[in-house]
Amino acid sequence: MSAAEQSFITLNTGTKMASIGLGCWSGLTDEEHESARPWIISALKTGYRHLDTAHDYGTEGAVGKAVRESGVPREEVFVTTKLPLHHHAKVAESLEQSLNNSGFDYIDLWLMHWPQAMADIDDKPNPRYPGPNGEPDQGEYIMNDDVTFNQTWADMETIFETTGKVKAIGVSNFSVKNLSKLLETAKIIPAVNQIEMHPYQAQPDLIAFCRQKGIATTAYSPTGYASIANDPTIIKLSEKYKVSPAQISLAWILSRGSAAIPKSTNVGRQRGNLFELPKLTEEDIALINTLHKNVHLCSYPGIQERNGEKLVFGWTYTQMGW
C-alpha cells in the first residue's frame, strides 16, 4: 500500500499531516539514539510519511540519516521536532541546533515540548539540583521563571513568519488552562497540541477545546502500555476485530479525529499500525470512551513529588492544568 492510501489531518495552515506517524524516541544513550535509524528506515519503506522526534530525544540525527538513506524524497516526509525545556529563552539558536542535528533545511512542524522553562546551564538538558545528600542531579529541576511560554511562543511565531525554516508551529503537553493563557497573546493559533492520549486518558475536555480553536491533536503513548493492552474490554474488542489491542487503541484515536504516533521497531507491527486498523462501530467507540480514568500512564523521567503533590519536569500538576 502507498502513502496515498493513508488518512490525513488538515492543519490550520492547510498542510496535510498523516494520521499515523512513527514515534522516534529510542532511549537515553548515543548508542540507543543511533540504533533507531534502521527501524525508522523500515517504517519509511513500509509507507510511513510522518516522523516524530524531539531535540530532547536525541534522535534528530537518526531521523535525518534515515530519510536520506531510505530513498524517500524529503518533501514527502512530514517531520515533527520539538523545542526543549532548557531552550525557551534561546528559540532561534535551538532551531538551528535541530536543523544541524537532522541535516534538514526545514522542519514541517515545530512544537514547544512543554509549557515550563528550565534553566540553561551549559546547554545541559533538564538540569537538576543536587539531592539531599549532595548527589549530583538528584534534586528538583532547576527552572527558569524569567521566561513565560507566551514569550517563547512569540519567538516561535517570529521564526515561523520570517525564516521559512518551519512550516507550522504548535505545542505539546498544554492543558486547557495553559492553552487559554497562551491564546491571550498568540498571534498564530497553534497548528497542533501533542498530548498523552489513550483509552485511560481520553482528554475529552481538551480535545473539545482544541477542536473549537482549530488546533489538531496528536496522541503520544497512544496504546497506553500494558495496563490498556491487558484491559478486558480492549482484549475483547481485539478478538472481535482480529487485531492487536494496540490497533484497537489506535483505531479509537483516529475515530476521534486525532493523529497518533506509536513507536514500533518491528516491521510487521509498523505495517499493522499503519494499514490494518479496523473501523470501529459507534457502539464500540462509546464503549472504549467509558474506560477513561483521567490518569497519566506515561512514565516521564521528570516525575517527582513535593509535599505529596506530583511534579512533572518541575511543575506541579496544578501548574500543568492536569
* 77 vs 108: CA distance, rounded Å: 9
CB atoms within 10 A of CB 111: 27
The residues, any chain, with a CB within 8 Å of residue 260's CB and separated by 6 or more, are 19, 20, 21, 197, 218, 219, 222, 250, 253, 254
* 77 vs 55: CA distance, rounded Å: 18
Active site residue 225: no
Question: Among the options 48, 57, 141, 220, which is catalytic?
Answer: 57
Residue 55 in marked binding region: no
Confirm if 231 and 261 have CB atoms less than 8 A apart: no
As a residue count, the chain comes to 322
Give the residue numbers marked as catalytic: 57
Annotated binding site for substrate, which residues?
A: 113
